[in-house]
Structure 1
Amino acid sequence: MDTKFDFGDTDTTNLVYIRRVATSTLPHEIREQIPEMEAMYAVHDADGERLALVRDRSLAFVLARQNELTPVSVH
């Protein structure tokens, strides 16, 4: 169990993270544009920078793949 495993050279340059975001935590300017929504999905790069906000989870995954990125879900 304590044996180290060599995963090789892992390339995370095209990895993005998809997570649910409560609209109440977004800036006022964004909340004004989406008053009826309680949550959106954000696409983040490996450094945590938000790349996009979309209406639903499946759209976030589609957007990532269309841009040749590998999406993973974050809880």
Structure 2
Amino acid sequence: MIEGMTSARNPLSPAEFAAIGDGHIAYVKPILSEELNALFPQAPELEPGLSLFALLGADGLPIVVADTREALIESAREHELVTVSVH
């Protein structure tokens, strides 16, 4: 193994992962309306079972939520963020 590289058995620490992209990378995460208030406490309560999409920074901090992936991607572009999907 190359010095300084992390093996598959030793994934990046949360701090190392958060540093990737230096604030320029965000990820798209599909969520249900039941999860909304855990990520965005100020959001209104929605009926359960709605499919939403959250944009989160590499450090996991929530940025914005939308009802379509396309709207979320456009918002990320406006803020000059590169997006990746979480499966």
Superposed pair shares fold, TM > 0.5: yes
Superposition TM-score tier, normalisation by shorter sequence? 0.7 to 0.9
Match of 2:44 among 30, 51, 73: 30
Q: CA separation in 1, counterparts of 2:26 and 2:79?
A: 11
Q: Percent identity?
A: 23
Counterpart residue type for residue 72 of structure 2: A
Total equivalences in the alignment: 69
After TM superposition, give the deviation of residue 26 of structure 1 in Å: 2.3
Q: In the alignment, is residue 48 of structure 1 matched against residue 60 of structure 2?
A: yes
TM-score, normalization by structure 2: 0.64
Q: Highest relative contact order (Cα 8 Å, sep 6+), 1 or 2?
A: 1
5+ unaligned residues in a row in structure 1: which ranges? Answer: 5-10
Aligned amino acid, residue 70 of structure 1: V
Whole-angstrom CA distance in 2 between matches of 1:54 and 1:37? 15
Provide the secondary structure at the position in 2 that maps to 1:58: helix
Instruction: List structure 1 runs of 4+ shifted beyond 4 angstroms.
Output: none
Please, what is the CA RMSD of the aligned residues?
Answer: 2.8
Are 2:30 and 2:54, in contact at CA under 8 Å, matched by a contact in 1? yes
